[in-house]
Amino acid sequence: MKQKSNNAAFIIVMLVASAFILLAGCQHEKKMDPVPVGEMQDYTDPGIGFSIKYPPGWVSNAQVGRVRMYNAQGVADKFLDPTGVGTIGVEIGVEATKLPSPTARIEEIKKELAAIDIQLGQEQTVTVDGATGTKLLYTANWGGKNIIYGHRVFIPVDSMLYDLGFAGFGEYYNAYAAVFDASLNSFTLPKPKVEGADETLPSETMSPYDAKLFSFHYPENFNFTNPPKGKNELVIELRGVRQDCSIRFDVFGAEGLTVDKVFEQNKDRYKATSTGKATVGGEPAWMLTYSATPNVERRFYFVVRDNKLIRTTLDWYKPQREEYLTAYDKVISSIRFK
């Protein structure tokens, strides 16, 4: 009887151990859940003029003709050095280059990728903003778990080559598939320039943005920045082609004050050139305008709603005051509180 009892105990122990091994294996094989497409924000190239949408809160690195967006801090470092200590994640990028033969450059890029042992996959023809492009899948295995999956979309238009890239480490690539598709589908080629038009002025075309507490429209050639939030509940900032022209929203506690009291506390801080009552998003507001610098004017709008102060700040280039205020009036009139 004792021998049978020992055998039974041994079998139970082995079954429990096997269950733990199977459970651990299932946990190890668990895939990332697909990342849903939520609200997206625009990036418009200030020089060439292409635009693309990407999720808010991503880290961007941009210069004229080139932009890279990453879903978290440190991801850019990991893409630069895949075997290094950066953060794994995903990347969206666009690079526009003027070339004698954009189609010939596409073939050169393929050879360059193959030369560094990047495995090229299936090619397919795609249409992006009415233009025909080539989608190329690839895999870059840098050893261990440092495997990058991605695809590039090459769009030759006249003498320009638009190279759009979407990539992710490991299972991140498939998890962000819907976000990648939404971003690619949002890509727009530069609009033909109007001869004699000042490209630094706010665009007449307005784009929508849905924030946490309100929504608004903004000129499509203004780009989102990443200002520090500090103690504020919400900070949103966009800058125009001229970097001294901007739109900014700050939201923080009103500490039980009315909008009239808030204005009284703030108006003496500035040498106002004008003040007055206004209406923003159907709410009573106060407006104050002053000279921020010799070349830049600034206007504040103060609104109190649900014990929160929403301060809108508008900066513009003084010699083009009329043109900027026309655009900014559209921004203010488009605000809708939730």
Structure tokens at 254: 């009103």
Average pLDDT over residues 302-310: 97
Q: What is the mean pLDDT of the chain?
A: 90
The per-residue pLDDT for 17 is: 45
Of 156, 186, 216, the residue that ends a domain is 186
Indicate the DSSP class of residue 319. G
For the stretch 205-251, pLDDT in tens is 898 898 889 999 999 999 999 898 889 999 999 999 999 999 999 99
pLDDT value of residue 277: 96
Whether 216 and 312 map to the same domain: the answer is yes
Domain presence at residue 13: no
CATH of the domain at 327: 3.40.1000.10
Contact 120, 105 (CB under 8 A): no
Percent of the chain with pLDDT over 70: 91
Q: Which residue type occupies 139?
A: T
Nearest to 132 by CA among 150, 151, 152, 153: 153
- Over residues 161-210, the pLDDT tens digits come to 999 999 999 999 999 999 999 999 999 999 877 777 788 999 988 988 98
- 155 and 50 fall within a common domain: yes
Residues 214 and 117 in one domain: no
Tokens standing for residue 151: 């695809």
Whole-model pTM? 0.67
Residues 266 and 320 in one domain: yes
Residue 273 and residue 233 in one domain: yes
Whether residue 222 is found in the same domain as residue 97: no
262 shares a domain with 224: yes
* pLDDT tens digit sequence for 7-55: 554 444 444 444 444 444 444 445 789 999 988 999 999 889 899 999 9
**18 domain residue, yes or no:** no
Give yes or no: residues 106 and 182 share one domain: yes
Number of domains in the chain: 2
The residue range of the domain holding 313 is: 206-337
Radius of gyration of the chain from its Cα atoms, rounded to whole angstroms: 27
Same domain, residue pair 182 and 313: no
Claim to verify: residue 305 and residue 168 sit in the same structural domain: no
Residue 294 carries which side chain, given as an amino acid letter? P
Of 140, 157, 186, the residue at which a domain comes to its end is 186
Work out the average pLDDT over 135-160.
Answer: 95
Residue 100 CA: distances (Å) to CA of 59, 110, 156, 157, 235: 33, 18, 11, 11, 44
